[in-house]
Structure 1
Amino acid sequence: MSYKINPIHHQTLPLQPPTSKRPDKSGQVSFKDALHHATKEKVTVSKHAQKRLDERNIQITEQKWDMISEKMKEAEKKGVTDSAVILKDAILIASNKNHTIITAMDRQQADVVTNINGTIVIPD
């Protein structure tokens, strides 16, 4: 029995460098930097946060998610790593450095919020 091995042809696509990182001398961007840039485009909702959103019937429109994402980026540029995102009916606890929503609660449940170093208020 013999096997024939076919070569795999692939095309290398240039990556756009992240705005905060410059390419090295060869003009290449590291995989780590490219991945970091690509994953920071949208907010990630953790499984725990999604469960809380579902349990508490907290509805957030795509437009609001886009606004939250933009405000989290702004806050991160100002050095905020962990924030409370305050909406009309809910408060989201976020890791800005990971661009992830960690948990969610309705406004009535949020008496005290700890372990944050910034607050983001999203207008209605």
Structure 2
Amino acid sequence: MNHISQTKYSTIEQMTGQLLNKRTVQTGQADTNNSFQRILENQYAIQNNALKFSKHANERLQSRNIDLSEEQLNKLSAGTRKAQEKGISESLVMVDNIAFIVNVKNSTVITALDEGEDKIFTNIDGAVIM
């Protein structure tokens, strides 16, 4: 019975290896390198208190014609640090009538809203008004 299971079924390690090899052939590079690079960049930014903007947030800033000054960026970074100190995970940070939803753990701005829109915020566990 043990001999049958070894010949008919692959181990988890074998299947994982096959899947990774298949992805490498299809994309031309291993997904693990891309993921590792992303994780490394995120950790570097967190350690240096650098605030990142998600692709979605960048699109919203551009489509809503929101240009942030250096002072506003500093306030947003300070608000994110205050939220982190209080143990907030997902925060609303208000800076000069602009609302930002920030993933505090990753120091990443998720989206931005200005005065002209309805403001309903869900899935946040804290707010910082600067």
Residue number in structure 2 paired with 1:57: 65
Q: Calculate the aligned-residue CA RMSD, in Å.
A: 2.0
Residue number in structure 2 paired with 1:24: none
Distance apart, 1:68 and its partner CA: 1.3
Distance 1:54 1:119, change over 3 A: same
Letter paired with 1:109: E
Show the counterpart of 1:6: none
TM-score (norm 1): 0.64
1:39 aligns with 2:64: no
Q: Which residue identity does 2:94 align to in structure 1? A: I
1:115 aligned to which of 100, 111, 123: 123
In structure 2, what is the Cα distance between the partners aligned to 1:61 and 1:103? 17
> What TM-score comes out, normalization by structure 2 length?
0.61
Q: What SS does structure 1 have at the residue aligned with 2:116?
A: helix
- Once superposed, which parts of structure 1, at least 4 consecutive aligned residues long, lie more than 3 Å away? none
Closer/same/farther in 2, CA of residues 91 and 110 from structure 1, 3 Å limit: farther
How much does 1:87 deviate?
A: 2.2
Corresponding residue of 1:3: none
1:54 alignment partner AA: Q
The aligned length equals 89
Over the matched positions of the two proteins, sequence identity in percent amounts to: 31
Q: Which runs of 5+ in 1 are unaligned?
A: 1-31
Cα shift at 1:108: 3.0
Displacement after TM superposition at 1:73 (Å): 1.3
CA contact (8 A) 2:98 2:113 kept: yes
Q: What is the alpha-carbon distance in structure 2 between the residues aligned to residue 106 and residue 82 of structure 1?
A: 19
Amino acid at match of 1:63: E
In 2, Cα distance between equivalents of 1:105 and 1:74: 20
- Consecutive unaligned residues of structure 2, counting only runs of 5 or more, are 1-38
Q: Which residue is equivalent to 2:13?
A: none
